[in-house]
Amino acid sequence: MSQSFKRPDSQLHVDLWEAQNHLCAFCGKTMLSNRFEAPHATVWARNRATIDHIQPKSKGGTDRRDNLQLVHARCNKIKGNRF
Ligand SMILES: [Zn+2]
């Protein structure tokens, strides 16, 4: 079983994407999943979906799905600055 060209986190990303109905866990607004949905690279960079650890790994959080959520890249950055 060495056919692992599909990254393990990509299915997780899709699962979270569906479970959250495309909405950011922080601000509740729609996220972008595809570069081509964005009119500009800057819009994509700020609004793309990124995986966030609800409990930070530095505080003992895991990589399990129940500790993960999707948030905007910009929202992830805000959280990162706050903690
Ligand atoms: Zn957001």
Q: Does residue 17 carry a pLDDT above 70?
A: yes
Domains of the chain and any CATH numbers: 8-82 (3.40.1800)
Report the separation in Å between the CA atom of 74 and the middle of ligand 1, taken as the mean of its atom positions: 7
C-alpha 26/C-alpha 7 separation (Å) is 25
pTM: 0.81
pLDDT of residue 60: 95
pLDDT of residue 4: 46
Mean pLDDT throughout 10-18?
91
The pLDDT tens digits for 39-80 are 999 999 999 999 999 999 999 999 999 999 999 999 999 877
Report the separation in Å between the CA atom of 67 and the middle of ligand 1, taken as the mean of its atom positions: 17
Residues with CB under 5 A from ligand 1 (ion): 24, 26-27, 72, 75
